[in-house]
């Protein structure tokens, strides 16, 4: 393996909330996450566990990026999930072009190019995960921009387009766009960007941001910004870092230190509850990630699910999943807004999956845990100047989806030689289980910063109350370096990830825990798909996800599971579809048993979440196949659709 390779709403679209519009000739996928609550569920049932083996390619579309953006593809990831809206299949490319296709044939209907800046390296690659629809109920139904699309861009713009033509909505902002001011001078153009789709509720459109990690403590703020969906005028802004000595002193005990702290941004998609008029934010860690000496306290609202009132931006409630994060264990995925049956009664909940492999299940009105969460002691003795939390929140149920401890005796290797090397690496580092603090000695971080769960999120089947989530099982070695030694360390290992974390006293080196053969030192499987029964808080089944076919020195399809980026979807036909893996396949699993039923070969990496819809009576499954440059998968510019033969 090469180093570096590595919705409860049934979306029938027939009884939509105000501000949404069905595709007239079809039904299926209206939002990035299937519905505004991110459940990645479809009521389509033509494709079943019994006939999915008959899926065939229906059509293929190419965006042209391999030619038009040849020089920038090496810094890109095609992570888009199309939506079915205004009688078209609509998605964005990594370079923020918005393209509308005929859902039955894949023929291009229109495209819009915002002409983003290229030729530089964005902190989170060139990436756009999706667009968001909105219907202006006050506009004439056939008027320009009565139905519109919103998209955030790599160069920090919020753009509004007419959904039928792709023309800019000139009455929104300045000629159809709002430029987002990061609030401070950037160190380079790619430090601040928008990668996930906006969210809309109560006529308000909100966007988060993706900000490069570990460069500096005094980094751009992770402000969530809200705009009038019709005019683009600012409505409110929410900064997850509470500023000033008087704000929540129990969480920021040294007061003004928060003035010098950035981030806690929301880079993952935001979930919306239109009926309640609430947005649910998955926030990240304050800056920098691996040393918190300049941000003492639990750091309220960071690493939290935060429920905000759509009209005002006021906090309704919040629940923190990590106190004083020094592990980059930010919330990476859109919350799932689900309805559970508890004691014979429906309970609206928020489900949040995490990088640690936890599943937090919270009451949607109060934020109180539905399944108990315990505060448990965690390892201490942090680096000089650190302020660790003595405890961290652990859900009693469901159980963790991934291993969280790694000992030298558990080291894995293909041969005795590389296993020995892995054993020595682990033995030389601190490895006291999850939440072992970063150290100058070197600390094993398991699971690593890409999960557990990641941005692909989870899928939820309301009929069975089952959550489906893909996870990673790899480790990082985190080593703190005295700040005065940063330049020398970087010069000595220019190809390693060594970051300054300025102006703190510690720089940091983050590396995958790999053997001399560039295989993980953690035992396989390295990627899994798991079904969780949310009625009981128990794991129903686990299935190995992926083979090493496309990342091993020789194409041997050993079913060891592989790191994966992208998420699952689930259908009323009893099928879970997922790409995500590093072996270039779209797969179908039996939702009841976890058995792998079918796989379709992709021409490039499928590091995106698929979607499904019904068009003129036929069910299609679609995935973007364009690869992920950092993961080392095959790059491309394909959108592929599958269907059953006539």
DSSP state of 331: -
71 belongs to the catalytic site: no
H or E, element range at 427: helix 416-428
627 Cβ neighbours under 8 A, 6+ residues apart: 77, 78, 604, 605, 607, 633, 634, 635, 636
Rounded Cα gap, residues 523 and 530, in angstroms:
18
Strand, coil or helix: 447: coil
Cα dihedral 493, 187, 513, 332, rounded to 10, equals -170
Rounded Cα gap, residues 138 and 18, in angstroms:
11
Strand, coil or helix: 468: strand
* CB 368 within 8 Å of CB 396: no
Rounded Cα gap, residues 596 and 641, in angstroms:
19
Whole-number Cα distances in Å, 247 to 256, 295, 321, 452, 505: 10, 14, 20, 33, 26
Tokens of 313: 């931006």
- Residue 48, classified by CB atoms within 10 Å of its CB into exposed (0-12), middle (13-18) or buried (19+), is middle
Selecting among 213, 328, 330, 461, the annotated active-site residue is: 328
Rounded Cα gap, residues 362 and 365, in angstroms:
9
Rounded Cα gap, residues 568 and 610, in angstroms:
7
Backbone conformation region of residue 343, classed left if phi is above 0, alpha if psi is from -120 to 50, else beta:
left
Handedness of CA 535, 538, 541, 544 (dihedral sign): positive
Rounded Cα gap, residues 311 and 73, in angstroms:
39
φ, ψ of residue 518 to 5 degrees: the values are: 60, 30
Tokens of 187: 């160190």
Q: Strand locations in 548-617, DSSP E?
A: 568-571, 575-578, 585-590, 596-601, 611-615
DSSP state of 299: -
* Neighbour order of strands in the sheet with 278-282: 271-273, 278-282, 304-309, 315-320
Rounded Cα gap, residues 266 and 275, in angstroms:
22
Strand, coil or helix: 590: strand
Catalytic residues: 328
């Amino acid at each position: 393996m090469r180093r570096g390779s590595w919705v409860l709403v049934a979306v029938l679209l027939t009884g939509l909330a105000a501000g949404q519009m069905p595709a007239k000739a079809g039904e299926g996928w209206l939002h990035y996450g299937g519905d505004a609550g991110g459940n990645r569920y479809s009521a389509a049932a033509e494709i079943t566990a019994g006939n999915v083996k008959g899926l065939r390619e229906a059509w293929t579309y190419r965006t042209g990026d391999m030619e038009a953006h040849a020089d920038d593809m090496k810094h890109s990831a095609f992570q888009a999930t199309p939506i079915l809206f205004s009688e078209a299949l609509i998605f964005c490319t990594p370079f923020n072009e918005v393209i509308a296709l005929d859902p039955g044939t894949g023929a291009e209907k229109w495209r819009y190019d915002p002409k983003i800046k290229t030729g530089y390296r964005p902190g989170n690659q060139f990436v756009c995960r999706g667009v968001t629809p909105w219907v202006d109920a006050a506009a004439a139904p056939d008027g320009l921009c009565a139905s519109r699309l919103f998209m955030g861009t790599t160069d920090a713009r919020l753009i509004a387009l007419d959904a039928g033509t792709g023309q800019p909505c000139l009455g929104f902002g300045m000629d159809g766009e709002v430029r987002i001011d990061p609030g401070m001078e950037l160190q380079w153009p790619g430090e601040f960007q928008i990668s996930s789709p906006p969210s809309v509720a109560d006529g308000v459109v909100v966007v988060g941001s993706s900000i490069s990690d570990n460069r500096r403590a005094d980094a751009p703020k992770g402000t969530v910004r809200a705009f009038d969906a019709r005019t683009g005028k600012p409505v409110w802004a929410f900064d997850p870092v509470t500023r000033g000595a008087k704000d929540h002193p129990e969480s920021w005990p040294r007061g003004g230190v928060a003035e010098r702290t950035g981030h806690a941004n929301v880079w993952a998609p935001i979930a919306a509850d239109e009926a309640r008029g609430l947005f649910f934010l998955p926030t990240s860690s304050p800056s920098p990630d691996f040393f918190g000496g300049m941000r003492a306290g639990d750091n309220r609202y960071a690493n939290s699910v935060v429920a905000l009132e759509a009209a005002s931006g006021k906090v309704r409630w919040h629940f923190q999943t990590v106190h004083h994060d020094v592990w980059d264990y930010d919330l990476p995925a859109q919350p799932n807004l689900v309805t559970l049956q508890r004691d014979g009664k429906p309970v609206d909940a928020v489900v949040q999956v995490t990088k640690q492999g936890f599943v937090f299940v919270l009451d949607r009105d109060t934020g109180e845990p539905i399944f108990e969460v315990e505060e448990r002691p965690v390892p201490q003795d942090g680096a000089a100047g650190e302020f660790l939390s003595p405890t961290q929140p652990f859900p009693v149920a469901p159980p963790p989806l991934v291993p969280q401890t790694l000992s030298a005796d558990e080291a894995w290797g293909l041969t005795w030689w590389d296993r020995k090397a892995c054993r020595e690496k682990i033995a030389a580092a601190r490895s006291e289980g999850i939440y072992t603090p970063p150290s100058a000695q070197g600390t094993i971080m398991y699971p690593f910063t890409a999960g557990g769960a990641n941005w692909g999120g989870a899928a939820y089947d309301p009929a069975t109350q089952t959550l489906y989530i893909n996870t990673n099982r790899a480790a990082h070695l985190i080593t703190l370096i005295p700040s005065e030694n940063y330049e020398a360390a970087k010069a000595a290992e220019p190809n390693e990830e060594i970051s300054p974390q300025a102006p703190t006293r510690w720089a940091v080196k983050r590396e995958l825990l790999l053997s001399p053969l560039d295989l993980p030192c953690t035992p396989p499987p390295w990627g899994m798909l798991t079904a969780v029964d949310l009625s009981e808080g128990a794991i129903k089944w686990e299935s190995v996800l992926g083979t090493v076919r496309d990342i091993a020195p020789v194409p041997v399809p050993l079913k060891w599971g592989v790191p994966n980026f992208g998420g699952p979807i689930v259908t009323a036909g009893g099928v879970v579809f997922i790409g995500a893996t590093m072996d270039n396949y779209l797969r179908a699993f039996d939702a009841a048993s976890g058995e792998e039923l079918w796989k379709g070969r992709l021409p490039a990496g499928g590091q995106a979440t698929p979607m499904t819809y019904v068009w003129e009576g036929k069910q299609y499954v679609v995935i973007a196949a364009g690869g992920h440059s950092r993961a080392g998968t095959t790059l491309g510019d394909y959108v592929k659709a599958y269907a059953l033969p006539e």
